[in-house]
Amino acid sequence: MQYTVHHTTIYSYADPVSICQNEVQLTPRLTPWQSRSDFQLEVSPQPMLLRNFIDSFGNEIWYFSLEEPHNELRVTARSRVRIMRRPVPIPTDTPAWEKVRDRLIAAENAEMRQVSQFRFESPYIQHFDATRDYARTSFTEGRPLLDAAVDLTSRIYREFEYAPATTSVSTPTLEVLKHRRGVCQDFAHLQITALRSLGLAARYVSGYLVTAPPPGKPKLVGADASHAWLSVYCPDIGWIDLDPTNDIIPQERHITIGWGRDYGDVCPIKGVLTGGGPQILTVAVDVAPIESGE
């Protein structure tokens, strides 16, 4: 499957901004299953400095600086990506989750040591007894890792309400667990917290969903905006994506931008500014399939 992605972010300020510096993480990531044939980043007003670099997680980051007064900042990312279906192991054929945990603790090689950073707390992920207890319902003794992780994904989908505007980026995971509602970011953080509380490795994934579903398929929750899901690590297999917002294992309809420990590592746009006063944020995302031959 091939797609075009247009992501426009507009900041409108009540007072002029004299200086701003920003980092943008909107470049689709290159992976064994995802390729990118085009990417363009447009910033208005024209920045004095625009450059890119690769962060510690392998994500591509763009940095720009504006040093002229402006009342509006417009950032548009245009991409063209191709996604192939990934092989998914049979959940019951994966090793028992306790064996995976023990191998991660032992960190027997360089890959496992690198993966182990995703076992620990991070700014948006803290370990709590409540999240560990919630995970334990799925992670019974000796249960295969992916079988248990898929069950946990399904439980979050069934037991939590997708309710936009009820939470924010700063809403604690315990509050989401208590009130049983939130958005994709909350559900990803909740499942990551639950998995890490058991000593497993899980990372946060940022990206998009296809806006228009294939014929006969339902439109997924989270389309027309940035989306979030997670990956769990299984030795000898690698990272396996899970989407608790839609109760699926992501395939050709999920476009990956980047991954990190939590939302803070893959925020689409972040920065600092001088001036501005009250501001209005507008975000528009469109993901469309490319017809064969285009």
Greatest extent of the chain over all pairs of C-alpha atoms, in Å: 61
Render pLDDT for 110-125 as a digit per residue (tens, 0 to 9). 989 999 999 999 999 9
pLDDT digits (tens, 9 = 90+) for 21-46: 999 999 999 999 999 999 999 999 99
Domains and CATH numbers, the chain: 2-83+267-289 (2.60.40.2250), 91-263 (3.10.620.30)
3-class DSSP assignment, residue 174? helix
What mean pLDDT comes out for the span 198-218? 83
The chain-wide mean pLDDT, for the chain, equals 93
Report the predicted TM-score, pTM, of the whole model to 2 decimal places: 0.93
Residues in the chain: 294
Give the separation between CA 3 and CA 252, rounded to whole angstroms.
10
| DSSP 8-state secondary structure symbol assigned to residue 86 | P
User: 181-182 and 161-162 as β-strands: parallel, antiparallel, unpaired?
Assistant: parallel
The larger pLDDT score, comparing residue 288 to residue 214, is at: 288
Per-residue pLDDT tens digits for 44-94? 999 999 999 999 999 999 999 999 999 999 999 999 999 999 999 999 999
Q: What percentage of the chain carries pLDDT values higher than 70?
A: 94
